[in-house]
Amino acid sequence: MSTSLLQTKLNELSIEEPKVLEGSFPEVNTVDLMRNYITQELSKISGVDESLIFPALEWTNTQDRGDLLIPVPRLRIKGANPKDLAKEWAEKFPCGKYLSKVEANGPFVQFFFDPTFLFNIVLPDILTRKEDYGSCKLVDNKKIIIEFSSPNIAKPFHAGHLRSTIIGGFLSNLYEKLGWNVTRMNYLGDWGKQFGVLAVGFEKYGSEEELAKDPVHHLFEVYVKINKDIENEGDSLPLEESTNGKAREYFKRMENGDESALKIWKKFRELSIEKYIDTYARLNIKYDIYSGESQVSQASMDKAIEIYNEKGLTHVDKGATLIDLTKFNKKLGKVLVQKSDGTSLYLTRDVGAAMDRYEQYHFDKMIYVIACQQDLHTAQLFEILKQMGFAWAKDLQHINFGMVQGMSTRKGTVVFLDNILEETKEKMHEVMKKNEVKYSQIENPEEVADLIGISAVMIQDMQSKRINNYEFKWERMLSFEGDTGPYLQYAHSRLRSVERNAKSIPPSKWTNADFSLLKEDCAVLLVRLLAQYPDVLRNAIKTHEPATVVTYLFKLTHQVSSCYDVLWVAGQTEELAAARLALYGSARQVLYNGMRLLGLTPVDRM
C-alpha cells in the first residue's frame, strides 16, 4: 500500500495516522504503523522520549502475550518500580481503533492489535499488493554481491555446495525484496593444477560427443580415470613421461596464457556453465555472473603482493612468501601467499578476486556463502584485506553453515546437483503413487514430483539454524506430515482448492468484503500472523537465517489448518463466504510469497 493508499484507507475508517517515526515503514508494514501509534501514545503518558520507546518494543513469543510488548526496565526510568509503571500505563493507555487490549504482566506492558483494524488494513493490503506484500525499501540505491554455490568443475558437487546454493539463493531473494540491488555470483573452481590433469586425461579418455551431451558428468569421469592412472603409476616413471609431469607442464602453459593450452579448458568451462544454468533454473536460481578462480586478474594479484610489501606484511621463508596473521589475531596463524615457484594459490586468488570485484562493482556489501570448514580461510582473507588498508573490507560478511551427514544417491557418488534432484524426484514419485486415487487426478505427476521433491530437500536444509549439522533423511524429508517441504506444498494446494471450489466469488469480490463477519478466534489469530510477515523478513535480513522464514510459514500453515473446521466457505451466504475467502486468499498469498522467497515453486494441485 503506498502512503496515500494507507491514508485513504485510514480516512475511510476515520482513523488518524500517527507520526511516521524514523526507521518505520508503516505504508508497507502494519506492525510499524502500530509501533508508531504505541510509541506516540506511550510517550504522552509516560513522558519518556519517543526515540527510547520505539526501539524497545519487542515481538512476543506467543500470541497470548499480545502482538508487541515493552519491557519497562528497558526504558531505564530511575527510582520507579517497573511493575507499578507497567500497571499504571496499561490502565491509562488509549486503545483507540488500533488496539483491542493493553495489559500489564509483571514489568511488561503487552499490546494486542485490534482485529477489526487488522482485517480492514492487512487483508486489502495483501490482496492488492499480492507478490509484493512483505517487500520494503529498507535501503536506497545499495549494491550487494552475493557469492554462492561455487562448485568445482570436474569434481563432485558435494553437500557443502548444495547448502551454499540453497542458502545463497534465499539470501539473494531476501535482499532484493528489501530494496537492495543484488548481484548473484557463482565463483567456480575452474583453475589450478587439476585442470592440467584434466586436459591430459581428456586427450586419453575424452570424447567430444560425450562432452557436448553431458559435460559435467563426462569431465568428472575423465578426471576419475586419469587420477587412477596417476595413482597406478606412482613413482615408476621419470617425471617428463609421467601423467603428473605432463599435467604440470600443461598447467604451466595455461598459466602462461598459451592459447592452444587454454582452448580446451575454455571449452570445458563454457559447456559446464551452459549445463549449470539449466540445473540452477530448477531451483529458481539465475546467476548474474559466472566468475571463477580463473577469472581473477593477474594485475590484482600482482598489486596485492606490492601492497603486502609496502605495508611490511610479508616475510620470505625457504623461498615461499608468508604473512604472519597472529600479530592481528592469534587464531589466524601464518599463511602462505606465494609459492616458491610463483604460482597462485586459492587464498591469493580470493584476495585478487575481492579487489577486482570492488573495482568493478563498488559494492556496499558482499556476502560469501561458504561452509564452516572454510571459516579459517575466510577469516584470513578478510584480515588480509583489512591489513592491506581497504576500507571496504568491513563490508564483507561470511555466511557459514554446518555439514550434512549421509547424503548419497543410489549410485553412491553425488556428481552434480542433477543427481540429487533426479533421485529426489524419483523417490517423491514413488511416495505419490502409493495414494492411487489422488495420483490418478494429477495431470502432470512427474513435474509435481519434481517440485515437491525439491521442496523437501530445500526445507530440510533451511529448517534449523544454518550452523547446525543435519542428517539427510529421505523418509522424514519426503513425508507429507510434520514440518516438511511436502507439507508446505500440500497446505498451498489445499488453499488453492478452497479458491477453486468457490469460483462464483472471484478475488475481485474479496477485497471489499464485509470483514466484520470475521469473528472467530481462529480468524483473529490468523490475521495477526499475516500482519507479521513484513517484520519476519526484516528479522531474517538481520539473522541471515532462512529458518526465521521457515518457522513462520509452519506457524502460518498450522493456523490455517485449524481454521478449516470452523470457517466454512461452502454453503455460506455470499457475504460470509467472501469475507472468509479474503482471509484464506490472503493466507495463500503470504504462504506463496514466503515459499517463493525460499526458492520454492508452490504447486496448485498435488
Ligand X SMILES: NC(=[NH2+])NCCC[C@H](N)C(=O)O
- Catalytic residue, chosen from 142, 158, 252, 267, is 158
Residue 87 known to be catalytic: no
Residue 217 known to be catalytic: no
Contact 120, 11 (CB under 8 A): no
Q: What pairs with residue 101 in β-bridges?
A: 112
Question: Where do runs of H (alpha helix) occur along 442-483?
Answer: 445-462, 474-478
Rounded CA-CA distance 71/75 in Å is: 8
Contact 178, 537 (CB under 8 A): yes
150 touches ligand X (CB under 6 A): yes
567 touches ligand X (CB under 6 A): no
Radius of gyration of the chain (CA): 29
Residue number, 110 or 186, with CB nearest to ligand X: 186
Q: How far is CA 203 from CA 88, 113, 199, 236, 265, in A?
A: 84, 71, 6, 21, 12
Residue number, 153 or 569, with CB nearest to ligand X: 153
Q: Closest by alpha carbon to 489, among 577, 363, 591, 352?
A: 591
Nearest approach, Cβ of residue 523 and ligand X (Å): 47
Rounded CA-CA distance 100/409 in Å is: 54
Contact region with ligand X (CB under 6 A), list: 90-98, 146-154, 199-207, 422-430: 146-154
Nearest approach, Cβ of residue 194 and ligand X (Å): 12
Nearest approach, Cβ of residue 192 and ligand X (Å): 10
Q: In the set 40, 43, 60, 152, which binds ligand X (CB under 6 A)?
A: 152
Nearest approach, Cβ of residue 432 and ligand X (Å): 34
187 touches ligand X (CB under 6 A): yes
Q: How far is CA 532 from CA 172, 539, 583, in A?
A: 21, 10, 15
280 touches ligand X (CB under 6 A): no
Nearest approach, Cβ of residue 41 and ligand X (Å): 50
Q: What pairs with residue 322 in β-bridges?
A: 315, 336
Rounded CA-CA distance 235/242 in Å is: 8
| Nearest residue to ligand X on Cβ basis | 189
SS3 content of the chain, % helix, strand, coil (to 5): 60, 10, 30
Q: What pairs with residue 323 in β-bridges?
A: 314, 335
Residue number, 396 or 606, with CB nearest to ligand X: 396
Rounded CA-CA distance 113/99 in Å is: 4
Rounded CA-CA distance 346/383 in Å is: 15
Q: How many residues does the chain have?
A: 606
Mask: binding to ligand X, 94-133, rule CB under 6 A, as x and -? ----------------------------------------
370 touches ligand X (CB under 6 A): yes
Rounded CA-CA distance 205/188 in Å is: 24
- Catalytic residue, chosen from 87, 161, 425, 544, is 161
Contact region with ligand X (CB under 6 A), list: 40-48, 144-152, 464-472, 554-562: 144-152
Q: How far is CA 183 from CA 153, 288, 538, in A?
A: 22, 6, 20
Amino acid at the residue 275 = K
User: How many CB atoms lie under 10 A from the CB of residue 293?
Assistant: 22
Residue 398 known to be catalytic: no
Contact region with ligand X (CB under 6 A), list: 24-32, 147-155, 304-312, 534-542: 147-155
Residue number, 71 or 333, with CB nearest to ligand X: 333
User: How many CB atoms lie under 10 A from the CB of residue 303?
Assistant: 15
Residue number, 126 or 182, with CB nearest to ligand X: 182
Q: In the set 189, 352, 585, 599, which binds ligand X (CB under 6 A)?
A: 189
Nearest approach, Cβ of residue 70 and ligand X (Å): 43
Residues in binding contact with ligand X, number by CB under 6 A: 8
Nearest approach, Cβ of residue 494 and ligand X (Å): 40
Rounded CA-CA distance 53/71 in Å is: 10
Contact region with ligand X (CB under 6 A), list: 73-81, 145-153, 383-391, 552-560: 145-153
Contacts 24+ apart (CB under 8 A), 503-508: 504/574, 505/574, 505/577, 505/578, 505/581, 507/127, 507/581, 507/585
Strands 99-105 and 108-113: antiparallel
Rounded CA-CA distance 171/439 in Å is: 35
Residue number, 65 or 155, with CB nearest to ligand X: 155
Nearest approach, Cβ of residue 187 and ligand X (Å): 5
Q: Which residue matches cell numbers 605495508? A: 311
- Catalytic residue, chosen from 143, 155, 303, 365, is 155
Residue number, 66 or 160, with CB nearest to ligand X: 160
368 touches ligand X (CB under 6 A): yes
Residue number, 152 or 511, with CB nearest to ligand X: 152
Residue number, 147 or 535, with CB nearest to ligand X: 147
Mask: binding to ligand X, 207-246, rule CB under 6 A, as x and -? ----------------------------------------
416 touches ligand X (CB under 6 A): no
60 touches ligand X (CB under 6 A): no
Nearest approach, Cβ of residue 293 and ligand X (Å): 7
**C-alpha cell read off for 492:** 498451498
Q: In the set 350, 383, 461, 483, which binds ligand X (CB under 6 A)?
A: 350
The angle subtended at Cα 183 by Cα 179 and Cα 188, nearest 5°, is 150
Nearest approach, Cβ of residue 368 and ligand X (Å): 6
Contacts with ligand X by CB under 6 A lie at 147, 150, 152, 187, 189, 350, 368, 370
Catalytic residue set: 155, 158, 161
